[in-house]
Amino acid sequence: MSRRRRRRRRPRFVPLSVIAELANAIDTAFGLVALYPHAHAVFVTDSEGAVRDMWVFRGQRHTAEDAIGAGLEAATRVPDARRAVLVSVMENVDLLIPNELEVEMWRSTVARFAEAGLVLWEWVVASGTVVRSLAVTAETEPSWRRS
C-alpha cells in the first residue's frame, strides 16, 4: 500500500472584515508579514470601517503604486467606499527613522485619494517585527483620530 505525501499548505491570509482602529490596521500588517516578505495591499472600507474591497500585491515586482492604483479604481466601482487603508510589507527596511520621502509620499497619496472621493485613513509600513504608521509620522492629527 503506497502512502501519498500531503503537501503542506501555506497559511492563507484572512483579512479583518473591519478596519476601524489603528490596531486593526497593525494586525492586518502583521498578518501580511507572517505570510509574505514583500507585499503591498489596499483595503477599501465604508465610513464605519467595514472592508468592501481589497487587493494584495505580493512579490518583488510590485510596488505601493499597484495598491494605490487598485484603491483609486475601487473608488469608482464600490458605491459605499469612503476610506482606504494601505499596508506595505518590505524585507530588511529600517523603519525606526522616518524620512522626508515617506512624508511627501503620504501627502501626495492623501491628495490623490481625496480627488477620487476617498479618505486615505492609514498607511502602515512593516518590516519584520517593526511597524510604522505613515499617518502618525506625517500628520499632527491623523484622520482616524478625528473620526
What domains are there in the chain, each with its CATH number?
Answer: 22-133 (3.40.140.10)
The owner of cell 522626508 is 100
DSSP state of 81: -
What's the pLDDT score for residue 144? 58
Mean pLDDT value across residues 11-16: 55
What are 58-85's pLDDT values in tens digits? Answer: 989 999 999 999 999 999 999 999 999 9
Mean pLDDT value across residues 137-147: 67
| pLDDT top residue among 134 and 15 | 134
* Nearest partner of 43 among 128, 32, 2, judged by Cα: 32
Q: Does the structure show a pLDDT above 90 at 14?
A: no
d(CA 114, CA 120): 7
What are 25-66's pLDDT values in tens digits? Answer: 999 999 999 999 999 999 999 999 999 999 999 989 999 999
pTM for this predicted structure: 0.84
What are 125-140's pLDDT values in tens digits? Answer: 999 889 999 998 887 6
Amino acid at 9: R
d(CA 35, CA 30): 9
